[in-house]
Chains A and B, each alone.
Chain A
Amino acid sequence: MTKQPRFNKILLKLGRDASNNAMMKPEKKKPLGILFWVCVGWIILNVLLAVFASFLPLIDPLYQNYDAVNSGPGLHHLLGTDDLGRDILSRIIFGSRVSIFVSFGAMSIAFLVGVPTSMLASLRRGRFDKILTTVMYSFLAFPAIIATISVLSFWVPRNLAKVIIVVGIFSIPLVYRVIRTASLAVAGREYVTAAKVQGATDRRILIREILPNITPILVSFLLIGIAQVVALEGALAFLGLSINPPTPSWGNMINEARTVLDVNPWLVIFPSIALVLFILSLNFIGDRLRNHFDVAEVKI
């Protein structure tokens, strides 16, 4: 259905009359704000820690210290230890590798396939667009989680590469829908028509005209997509469908912790905080960017 433009008519009318005289200042872009940069910093810190985890003076995440089992936060183990005496801080940092690796990997697949096809579909329109869009939308009809679980449970033996491939492939329709909507709006503009008339190739139009104009939404959706995959991987790990223990991941740490909830609640709290802060930061950055570039909210 078409949405009617919603605004206050009177103010608009007055604003229009006023702006006729070019006296009304255009509304300023919403500033990104300090929280935005805090979130950016947090994500960068997480990624750096994950990449350089092996070089950091951390206790081996697999080392079992039987003298300190289920110890709470303390000097030796900043965030405490689990029921096998393993260091939680170290496991959280090493565990972030799985989340980051899977989410970046899966989103790379989804974007590498989803972005070019959706842009091309929006430019070409016609039957190509129609068929592709119908297929993509049918896949959207059921949740990614059920699709990934079913494939992962049959595609044995499981490993991280398969998780990335499966999650990546099932994320393509989401990327396709968002990017197609965004680039459709650009493809209809005059400068694209002008470029077509001048005989520019599709490739040139896509790269020179459309891509720069959808970059803000591309970036913000990439971040939100990564956040969603982090949550999805957490759920898969929680069920034992992602990486196998003892290798830590945020999801399987929370899963292991649930059996000792009464003895050692820290075990569930710290990985949960790590996971939520990571997702929250990504969502926040994505949301702010979208507002900043004044991109209409796209349903995700």
Chain B
Amino acid sequence: MTEAQLIRQACEGNGPAVRTLYERYAPRVYAVVRRIAGDDDLAQDYSQEAWIRAIRALPTFRGDARFSTWLHRIAVNAALQALRKAETKDRRETSLPEAIAVRPNEGDALLEGLLERAMDQLPEGMRQVLILHDVEGYTHEEIGELLGVNPGTSKSQLFKARGKMRELLRPALAGGEDGQKGVEAWGI
């Protein structure tokens, strides 16, 4: 069955078709939402909200863009809008020790774990720009539109975020005893 057929059936309320789309794209949606939210509990709420919006808007999907791109944009918007509404800072700080969500096919590789934890520690603005640019591949112009800032601000936040990430990762990636302590301190 082609994706177009699947989408058509999902539009008609066919549960198995919706579930097939979910199983195909849920890891992608959850990943971007989790990283923007910086919190496991919020991520589940936000990703479900994204899926509800997407299924609701499915009849408007014309196929001009790839379905995955269209869905991804809905997920990013859902997460950013939910974050704006929520008082997230305190919740995120208390949720830092919690485990990163399970990956679909692989374990918690050392560097991936360090990167995810370091991202969670970035200030919200920096984290959003870093994720959208360096993880998701958005341009500064697109980020500016999504976040309501100008592209120059997006660039500036990105450079600060990369530098901050380096400072956070340096102890854990350093070799020898210091590095070992760093790795242990990060719970890897």
A and B assemble together: no
A residues lining the B interface (CB < 8 Å)? none
B residues lining the A interface (CB < 8 Å)? none
